[in-house]
Amino acid sequence: MALKTTQEYLDSLRKLDIKLYMFGELLENFVDHPIVRPSINSVAKSFELAADERYSELMTTTSNLSGETINRFTHLHQSTDDLVSKVQMLRMMGQKTASCFQRCVGMDAINALDSVTFEMDQQLGSVYHQRFRSFLQYVQDNDLVVDGAMTDPKGDRSLRPSEQADPDLYLRVVSESPDGIVVRGAKVHQTGAINSHEICVMPTIAMAELDKDYAVSFAVPSDTPGIFYIYGRQSCDTRKMEGSDMDVGNARYGGQEALVIFEDVFVPKERVFMLREYQFAGNLVERFAGYHRQSYGGCKVGVGDVLIGAAAMLADYNGAAKASHIKDKLIEMIHLNETLYSCGIACSCQGHRTSSGTFLINQLLANVCKQNVTRFPYEISRLAEDIAGGLMVTMPSEKDFRHPKIGPYIEKYFRGVQTVPTEHRMRMLRLVENMTLGCAAVGYRTESMHGAGSPQAQRIMISRQANLDYKKKLARVVAGIEEDN
């Protein structure tokens, strides 16, 4: 079975023995919990679209491991066309969900691990690549969702992992046996971890020899004994428990983050892909980050498409669509959004083949892409809020709107253009609120800043990749200071 149906995916989650805490309680049934379920629906959309012939060409591809048709989220990129298709797929997923759909982290992790483990084996004579590909074959055969777990708590940022007062602030190996290893620590900001079948762990920074116990990569089932989850709060999250589709804004879809605790978790040796080879940790971090920064040129653009559409609809509903300043603001939003997409496509088109056969994006352009993502969605959000108007944050609840006495007053006084139902205007305002201030802000605005690394992380990589010495030489040659050779 290479492709799951949506129902099979939901059924597979119900079979997991996930230990999830929310609001100080252990959840008995996380799949149907009103706060969690929208994030599950977002992941489920990837299975639904893969089965739809209108989208299957983009959502599925042929595995280079088995020759079978697989979901693109489990694929190793085999060409620059694959890299471009990835960005196009992520944009479409963003358009369909208007939220974070969570599977790209695992996709980026498997592609980074493929080339790095191959190079480790070439240099060390190890068998990490063989182990990794066996794991990936299992993932593809069963169409599994993989959580790419990179970010550690980090504690005191001025200290290296081995220097921390608490040694568990970076995930580490605490013991080793012929059968495997035992790890302890945590991964934070874990997008979609609870909705995943497998957790694929990677180091979070480049390591020195003193940090070698922290240079570890492996994959384990998400319900492995010793792993438990603490659900991350989002703004306005309890609105989902109130039973009002209107007040949530985007009632069906949402994102998800969690703190994942590894309390002396046993990892079989066949699932270990790096064990104290600290000299390769930096490469793995940089490649994963590059792939994930490319991803933002697709997913955030798709969500941006929805936000631009919502702003344009509100301009219509408010009777302001013909105003020149409104038109100009919408043009600016489109310009910024398409610039992000252009960066995602550009770093894909200029990708190259690694020694394992998997294609890697142009690292410089991927970091430029994400650097823009740390800025442009904020301006797009500001312009959307400007067009929407203040009612977006002062509007009464749906219960008030449905109330037999006060509801008619809301209907009367909050109507914009006479031909547009007040409810339509209110729903559109709540959607913009959701995407810029509420739950979806985690998957759009705020995540645009910190997801795939903070802005400074991209600036460091841009500095490394820019080849400033070459640019200086170009200037010297043109200025006649030296010959071109």
Domain map (residue ranges) of the chain = 6-74+100-281, 283-472
3-state secondary structure 238-278: HHHHCCCHHHHCCCCCCCCCEEEEEEEEEEEHHHEEEECCH
Annotated binding site: 191
Q: Is the pTM for the entire model greater than 0.95?
A: yes
Per residue in 158-191, pLDDT tens? 999 999 999 999 999 999 999 999 999 999 999 9
pLDDT(372) > 70: yes
pLDDT(293) > 90: yes
The helix or strand, by DSSP H or E, that contains position 71, with its residue range, turns out to be strand 69-71
Does the active-site annotation cover 257? yes
Does the active-site annotation cover 104? yes
Per residue in 17-29, pLDDT tens? 999 999 999 999 9
Q: Give the mean pLDDT of the chain.
A: 97
Q: Where are the beta strands (DSSP E) in 115-240?
A: 146-149, 172-177, 180-187, 198-201, 216-221, 227-231
pLDDT band at 447 (very low <50, low <70, confident <90, very high): confident
Q: Residue 131 CB: number of other CB atoms within 10 A?
A: 20
Per residue in 374-433, pLDDT tens? 999 999 999 999 999 999 999 999 999 999 999 999 999 999 999 999 999 999 999 999
- How far, in Å, CA of 161 to CA of 155, rounded? 9
pLDDT at res. 445 = 85
Does the active-site annotation cover 191? yes
pLDDT at res. 439 = 79
Given 119, 198, 257, 277, the catalytic residue:
257
Per residue in 112-151, pLDDT tens? 999 999 999 999 999 999 999 999 999 999 999 999 999 9
Given 75, 77, 104, 444, the catalytic residue:
104
Given 200, 236, 299, 347, the catalytic residue:
299
Annotated binding site for FAD: 191
Please state the rounded mean pLDDT for residues 340-352: 98
pLDDT at res. 56 = 97
Does the active-site annotation cover 100? yes
Does the active-site annotation cover 236? no
- How far, in Å, CA of 150 to CA of 457, rounded? 14
Does the active-site annotation cover 299? yes
Percent above pLDDT 90 for the chain? 97
Structure-token pair, residue 449? 């800043």
CATH architecture, domain 6-74+100-281: Beta Barrel (2.40)
Given 61, 74, 151, 191, the catalytic residue:
191
- How far, in Å, CA of 202 to CA of 197, rounded? 17
Please state the rounded mean pLDDT for residues 269-274: 98
DSSP at 233? P
Does the active-site annotation cover 292? yes
Question: Quick check: do 6-74+100-281 and 283-472 share a fold?
Answer: no
Given 100, 200, 236, 343, the catalytic residue:
100
DSSP per position, 1-45: -----HHHHHHHHHTS---EEETTEE-S-STT-TTTHHHHHHHHH
Residue 273: what are its φ and ψ, rounded to 5°? -110, -10
Does the active-site annotation cover 343? no
pLDDT at res. 53 = 97
Given 197, 292, 343, 374, the catalytic residue:
292
**What CATH number was assigned to the domain covering residues 283-472?**
1.20.140.10
DSSP per position, 81-113: HHHHHHHHHHHHHHHHHSS---THHHHHHHHHH
